[in-house]
Chain A
Amino acid sequence: MWNTVFPYLLSGISVGGQYALIAIGYTMVYGILRLINFAHGDVFMVAGIVMVYVVSSGVPLWLSILLVLLITSLIGFLIERVAYKPLRTAPRMSVMISAIGVSYTLQNLVLYITGGLNQIYPTIPWISGSVTIGSATTKMVTLVTPVLTIILVVALVQLINHTKIGMAMRAVSKDFETSQLMGIKINSVISVTFVIGSFLAAVGSILYFTNYTTVIQTSGAMPGLKAFVAAVFGGIGSIPGAVIGAFIIGIMENIIKGLDVILFKSGVIKAPLGLATFSDAFTFALLIVILVFKPTGLFGEKVTDKV
């Protein structure tokens, strides 16, 4: 039994770490702007595409990784400046629609550049290598992801709790207008938020696509939505919440992918039921259940409506 479950658990933890890196971007942006940044999943995808093109143009690998991180952060910054900043005083729905528009634009742009073909993600030595642990053979990236995720999250939490810009972020997410009155430069705080979010998404994309090996213009949509669900699950606005939510979702999703095999081998069912179809749907079912029973998520703050 354990031997059957273990490989799925392992890849679940790995995918969970990758979702966590994307989810942080969602949760930070939502915490500050109250905006579901629908384009975040596509930023993650663009990071993958940039990597493909940078490496194929002959840049050494270590430099390409740095370049990808830099370019993705820049893209995140530009998206905020071009598409969200002009709408600062507009109703929230307008900003959300703008985010959907950005997502649509990024996907079409990548479709145009790549010609809509699957791009093979470059192999990164060492983390692409395989490794055997107990009953499971997997890529090194599976082991690297959770460790790297936790290191980055700890660093981020330190940044938010112990630096001046972190304090500004906390203030802005508590009260937008008041922090503005206190002399906090809202625009630069928001830009930093987007840069950090995109940077982490880029790291996540390097790990994710090393695992899945191909990138296409739609590859960002599903991980993006799932990472958002993870952020909601953990309590939107809370970074540890997003990380824990992402790990739970990653693990559950992979267990469901393997549920047929697990149940079959343990003799519960006679024939496969095709339950793997529901691995994506499960995430959203979880979302609806969470929203109905505990809308603030695991670690979210309670908000009361004022008339």
Chain B
Amino acid sequence: MKEKKLTLANVASALIVLCLYVAVFIAEQKLPATSMLFTVLKKGATYALVAVSMNLLNGFTGIFSLGQAGFMLIGAYVYAIFTIPLEQRVNVYQYYAGGVVQFTLPVFVAMLLAGLVAAFFAFLIGLPVLRLKSDYLAIATLGFAEIIRAIFQWNQLGPVTNGSNMLRLFPTFNDFNIRNADGNVTVYLSTLVPLLVAGVCIALIVMIINSTYGRALRSIKDDEVAAEAMGINLAHHKRLAFCVSSFFTGIGGAMLAMYQTTVQAKSFTSAMTYEILLIVVIGGVGSVTGSCISAFLFVAASEWWLRFLDEKQMIGNWEVPLLRNGFRLVVFSIIIMIVVLFFRRGIMGTKELPDLFRRKKKAGGELK
């Protein structure tokens, strides 16, 4: 009975998502490729995926993990290491005689591998760390991310990771564009593909959340002791959530590598994790839709809409005070603090896209 009721809302939501994809595809063919919109969409897709996988842990399972930057780093490096074209390896690994990895994998295989390696590391680190409680777990995972960062910068591993030097020249989002024989782009796909990848991954996470496993995870969040008493294997379910989340975070890392076109371990600091955490909080802890919306809003606001705050603005003859480089970030952090302090439920609370239709219908009926 319940399933049937859900269908209409679900179909409507699916339609909306589909329309968005079509709109992006059309926009990409029509608008110049340098438009800020595409930068925002690409980075937004990456952050949305990572934010949703963080939400799976923090919002749905109640494991407060701050290791995202570490898993993204693993994903980004695995992807980069296995996709740099053979002939470019000498240039990239210039201090390590071309490195030891002397084969390349197809892009999507490398992305999958990025996720798997991140999940494997999550499994290892989860063995000791997942036994810890709330804030101790947070600080332990944060520490783990720092350890990973140090390991990847160690020059003894240089033949694999290129030490503290940059990895570059691997395939990026622009390589998804379909080109004709002359090298001119015929079909632009560089924004659509990352959005599709993120979309598929997020759909998988949603399926997990709505499965038996997902319900078990929610019960862990509500009350660990009660969940255990109901016969849920705590250790097993926590490990599963941690590995799944890290798998998708790893894929997100690979996407970040493609977005940035270069990878360097020192940029994956805890500040990156904090940013993603703030995205999750703004979207609403426990809402996948919220995380997606706020990821795009966060990226758009920080990269695009608030840019004008960084430059001098004149209203008539009056120069607006305070505006100079960095002011955007100040305004941005104040907005974030307001959300954190006064709108703790975030944009969506714990609601999802289909819930909106159901609620709207009722509300509309009452109004009439």
**Do chains A and B stick together as partners?**
yes
Residues of A contacting B341 in the complex (Cβ-Cβ under 8 angstroms): 83, 86-87, 98
A277 touches B143 (CB 8 A): no
Q: Decide: A281 and B330 in contact? CB cutoff 8 A.
A: no
Query: Which residues from chain B contact A287 at a C-beta distance below 8 Å?
Result: 139-140, 143
Q: What separation, in Å, do the CA atoms of A274 and B150 have in the docked complex? A: 11
Which residues from A are CB-within-8-Å of B303?
none
Q: How many residues of B contact A (CB 8 A)?
A: 49
* Contact A98 B340, beta carbon cutoff 8 Å: yes
B contact residues around A107 at 8 Å (CB): 271
Q: Report chain A residues within 8 Å CB of B164.
A: 277
CB contact list, A199-231 vs B, under 8 A: 218, 221, 225, 228-229
Q: A111 near B140 (CB under 8 angstroms)?
A: no
- Looking at B128, B138, B143, B153, the one whose CB has the most chain A CB atoms below 10 A away is B143
Interface string of B295-335 (1 = CB under 8 A from A): 00000000000000000000000000000111101101110
A291 and B136 form a contact (CB under 8 A): yes
Q: Is the CB of B136 within 8 A of A281?
A: no
Interface size range on A against B: 35 or more
* Inter-chain contact A112/B327, CB cutoff 8 Å: yes
- Asked if B274 contacts A104 (CB within 8 A), the reply is yes
CB distance from A53 to the nearest CB of B (A): 16
Q: Mark A80-106, 1 if CB is under 8 A from B, else 0.
A: 000100110010111011101111110
**Closest CB of chain B to A223's CB: distance in Å?**
13
Instruction: Say whether A111 contacts B329, CB under 8 Å.
Output: yes
A274 to B158, CA, bound (A): 11
Residues of B within 8 A of A295 (CB): 132, 136
The secondary structure that dominates the A interface is helix
Q: Which residues of B contact A102 (CB under 8 A)?
A: 337
Provide the bound-state CA to CA distance between A288 and B138, in Å. Answer: 11
Residues on A with C-beta less than 8 A from B149 are 281
Decide if A100 touches B274 in the complex (CB within 8 Å): yes
- Establish whether residues A285 and B147, one from each chain, have CB atoms under 8 Å apart when the complex forms: yes
Interface residues of B in 156-175 (CB under 8 A from A): 156, 164
Choose one: B135, B150, B325; the contact of A280 (CB below 8 Å): B150
Write out the residue numbers on chain B whose beta carbons fall within 8 Å of the beta carbon of A101. Answer: 278, 333, 336-337, 340
A6 within 8 Å of B (CB atoms): no
- Whether A299 sits at the interface, judged by CB under 8 Å, is no
Bound-state Cα–Cα, A67 to B341, Å: 30
Smallest CB–CB gap between B270 and chain A, Å?
7
State in angstroms the CA–CA spacing of A228 and B147 once bound together: 16
The answer, yes or no, to whether A166 is at the interface (CB within 8 Å) is: no
**Across-interface contacts of B128 in A (CB, < 8 A):** 288, 291-292
Q: Given the complex of chains A and B, what is the CA–CA distance between A228 and B277 in angstroms?
A: 20
- Cβ A232 vs Cβ B136 within 8 A: yes
Closest partner residue, chain B, to A36 (CB atom): B135
Cβ contact within 8 Å between B147 and A284: yes
B131 is an interface residue with CB less than 8 A from chain A:
yes
At the interface, yes or no: A116 with Cβ under 8 Å from chain B?
yes
The answer to whether B358 has its CB under 8 Å from any CB of chain A is no
Q: Which residues of A contact B144 (CB under 8 A)?
A: 284, 288
Instruction: Determine whether the beta carbon of B344 is less than 8 Å from that of A307.
Output: no
Q: Which residues of B contact A109 (CB under 8 A)?
A: 330, 333
Asked whether A292 lies within 8 Å of B131 as measured between CB atoms, the reply is: yes
Contact A291 B132 (CB under 8 A): yes
0/1 per residue, A263-307, Cβ < 8 Å to B?
000000000011001101101110110011001000000000001
With a cutoff of 8 Å between Cβ atoms, the chain A residues found around residue B332 in the complex are 108
Residues of chain A lying within 8 A (CB to CB) of residue B267: none
When chains A and B are docked, how far (Å) is the Cα of A68 from the Cα of B144? 34
* A277 in contact with B155 given A111-B329, A232-B139 (CB within 8 Å): yes
Query: Of the candidates A96, A103, A228, A281, which one forms a contact with B146 in the assembled complex, judged by CB atoms under 8 Å apart?
Result: A281
The answer to the question of A129 belonging to the interface, with a C-beta cut-off of 8 Å to chain B, is no
A83-B341, A112-B326, A277-B153 known; A92-B334 Cβ under 8 A: no
Q: Are B134 and A92 in contact (CB under 8 A)?
A: yes
Residues of A within 8 A of B132 (CB): 291-292, 295
Residues in B98-132 with C-beta less than 8 Å from chain A? 128-129, 131-132
B281 near A: Cβ within 8 Å?
yes
Quick one: given A83-B337, A92-B134, A103-B274, are A116 and B142 in contact (CB under 8 Å)?
Answer: no
A283-B149 Cα distance, complex, nearest whole Å: 13
In the bound complex, residues from chain B placing their C-beta under 8 Å from that of A291 are: 128-129, 132, 136, 140
**A100-B278, A112-B327, A288-B140 known; A274 and B156 CB under 8 Å?**
yes
In the complex formed, the residue of B with least CB distance to A106 is B333
CB contacts (< 8 Å) of A307 on chain B: these are 225
The answer to whether B151 has its CB under 8 Å from any CB of chain A is: yes
Q: Give A106 to B157 CA distance when docked, in angstroms.
A: 36
A115 contacts which chain B residues (CB < 8 A)?
325-326
| Alpha-carbon separation in the docked complex, A287 to B143 (Å) | 8
CB of B64 closer than 8 Å to a CB of A: yes
- The chain B residue sitting closest to A87, CB to CB, is B341
B95 CB-CB contact with A under 8 Å: no
CA distance A108 to B155 in the complex (A): 32
- A residues in contact with B155, CB < 8 Å: 274, 277
> In the complex, A105→B153 CA distance in Å?
29
Say yes or no: A288 contacts B334, CB within 8 Å: no
- Report the nearest A residue to B336, measured CB to CB: A101
- Min CB–CB distance A70 → chain B (angstroms): 24
The 10 A-B pairs with the shortest beta carbon distances in the complex, nearest first, are A284-B143, A281-B150, A112-B326, A105-B333, A108-B329, A274-B155, A281-B147, A292-B128, A108-B333, A101-B340
16 A-B interface contacts by CB (under 8 A): A93-B58, A96-B64, A97-B278, A101-B337, A105-B334, A108-B333, A115-B326, A221-B269, A225-B270, A277-B164, A281-B149, A284-B142, A284-B144, A287-B140, A292-B131, A295-B132
